[in-house]
Amino acid sequence: MFDLRQIQVFLAVWKTRSFTKAAKEIHLTQPTVSGHIKALEDALGIQLFDRSGRKAVPTKAGEAFYPHARQIMRLFDKARRTMDTFCGGDSGELEVGGSNIPGQYILPLLIGRFKEGRPNCRIVLRIDDTSGIVSQVEHGELELGMVGGVVKRNTLHFEPCLEDRLLLVMPPGHRLAGKVDVSVEEILEEPFVAREVGSGSRMAAERALRDIGIEGFQGLNVVAEMGSTEAVRQAVKAGVGLAFISERAVKEDMEHGLLASATLEEMTLERSFYLVWHAKRSLSPLAEAFRDFVMEGEAVPPCNPPSGE
């Protein structure tokens, strides 16, 4: 089993045409060089150099071996370089997934920030519902996911990473627009637009409603159900009804006065987003860097700075 050292020694002798000079060049002693060349010649079953006089002259076989030796060296270097780029966490390819809100409103921003200063990495964002993202992470198709809820699996690790808040949103001219302590009674008769059953947003809202004694959306006047956050947003703007929407999805609309919100008394609309990764598999350095970047939390500051501060 001949190894790289022999190749390296061979190339040095080739270059210097001398065992002694080759030894100096690669910081070995002359007898060691002799040994390596002999070992290589034995392994190949043929003499590579004639060491008659002052010079070590390559034989025909040595000449034939030279291009191979060069190529092997180059290939090893290339392999090492390729692996080096993996170590830094600044290059390579990373596939992350996000459920609706994270996938559409949070991750694009995070990825953009992350890639500043890391131009050599490629990040693929896949958007699916929470269960889809989770199962892809479980099967190793995605290294990281960001979702709105925790799914109990002992192969997966969930870690809360960002806080989100549902807002009660309505068109700007609505009678509740801007009110701070809307009571439960005030919304009972309002028409509502909701996300479909099973979505993370729907579940988060129902949990919050149950906290204040309402039987989820069944206790509300739901006039429409929509399959995406975007659709709900458009419906509210069109005056179809009120809705609970992630603050991150309506930030822009609020700033431009295209939507208004109100605050419900005693209702906790906070929810968390979680990073998921496979507990048993190691993350690539790039994935690790991205995870740390997200966990730092400085990239995406809370959307609505706590008004009570």
Q: Any residues with CB less than 8 A from the CB of 44 and at least 6 apart, and which?
A: 2, 61, 65
Per CB under 8 A, 120 contacts a copy of itself: no
Per CB under 8 A, 55 contacts a copy of itself: no
Backbone angles phi and psi of 233, in degrees to 5? -60, -45
Per CB under 8 A, 183 contacts a copy of itself: no
Contact by Cβ (8 Å): 290, 96: yes
CB of 292 to a copy of itself, least distance (A): 17
Which residue, 68 or 281, is less far from DNA as judged by CB? Answer: 281
Q: Any residues with CB less than 8 A from the CB of 169 and at least 6 apart, and which?
A: 233, 236, 242, 243, 244, 245, 250, 254, 259, 260, 261
Residue with tokens 């458009």: 234
Which residue, 3 or 181, is less far from a copy of itself as judged by CB? Answer: 3
Binding to DNA by CB under 7 A, coded x per residue (else -) over 149-178, reads ------x-----------------------
Per CB under 7 A, 139 contacts DNA: no
Residue from 27, 53, 256, 305 that binds a copy of itself (CB under 8 A)?
53
Contact by Cβ (8 Å): 254, 261: yes
Per CB under 8 A, 281 contacts a copy of itself: yes
Residue from 29, 76, 211, 266 that binds a copy of itself (CB under 8 A)?
76
Which residue, 61 or 151, is less far from a copy of itself as judged by CB? Answer: 61
Per CB under 8 A, 154 contacts a copy of itself: no
Candidates 22-30, 176-184, 228-236, 295-303: pick the segment binding DNA (CB under 7 A). 22-30
Residue 32 binding: pick among a copy of itself, DNA, none (C-beta 5-8 Å cut-off by kind): DNA
